[in-house]
Structure 1
Amino acid sequence: MRAVLQRVSEASVTVDDNITGEIKQGLLILFCAEHGDNDDQAAYFARKISKMRIFTDEDGKMNRSVIDVNGSVLAVSQFTLAANWKKGNRPGFSGAANPSEGERLYEFFCNALQNEGLSVEKGVFGAHMDVKLRNDGPVTIVMDSKDSA
């Protein structure tokens, strides 16, 4: 499982000229389920993300979570985070979960974020999406379940 968190002042996702998700201050999360990923990992990611202190306090230090700043989340499925780019010039994506399992884990992850108390907007799984963001900082965190203990 992989996720890329971007602290944003605003973000939106559009599909076929329709905005499907839009937030102000918060996190844009690009999410990818890989073969062998499970609900426990998705729930763990949601817990960590909800408590991760990457927003600044009054002293300019990163001491606040997205919950602490009353921020929202825009979660976007992105199977390309599973890219195998080491051989050749065209990345392969065979490490990504199959579409039905990927969608199930994406929805589970979004629900787990909501269960942590976050307001969650979403993209459309499997759709071609136009994602816009204003990165705040910039602050970008890469999470990979292979790195978690």
Structure 2
Amino acid sequence: MKSDDDVLMAQRIAQLEDEHKADAVFIDFGYGTGIYSAGKAMGRNWRLVQFGGASNDPAMLNKRGEMWNAVKTWLKEGGELKDQQTADEVAAPEYRVKLDGKIVLEDKGELKKRTGVSPNRADALALTFAFPVVKNQNRPHGGSSSYESDYDPYAS
């Protein structure tokens, strides 16, 4: 459900975080600073991600390319997409190599112009690869102070 109410969206994200016992929440810096701030006011430890920011992968031009490249690696290692729309979006962008050797993913605006579709689901998937995630042993929200989970991101 779409909403421009940052507090409402932060509440929904917090509810999902608790419901799914999420170990991390990454928020897109581009449109999520208000949501992030509302979450912080609620005591949440979320992390903003700048898609255009610096990449930790020396081959990639920016964070967006790094995250999408991580999705590609995850898929090669057995990750599975369970809906066709996301699969189509993940397959749509083109890469190019700049003169300095850095790989750059096709700009989202260019992709939308070329295909008529914005890769929102694929960007959301890529966002889950923004930073390494460590199992959260002390959950400040959602009940118990620690928990064990059978969650496996590589399981089908």
TM-score by length of 1: 0.32
| Larger relative contact order (CA 8 Å, sep ≥ 6) | 1
Asked which structure has the greater CA Rg, the reply is 2
TM-score by length of 2: 0.31
Higher helix share: 2
Higher strand share: 1
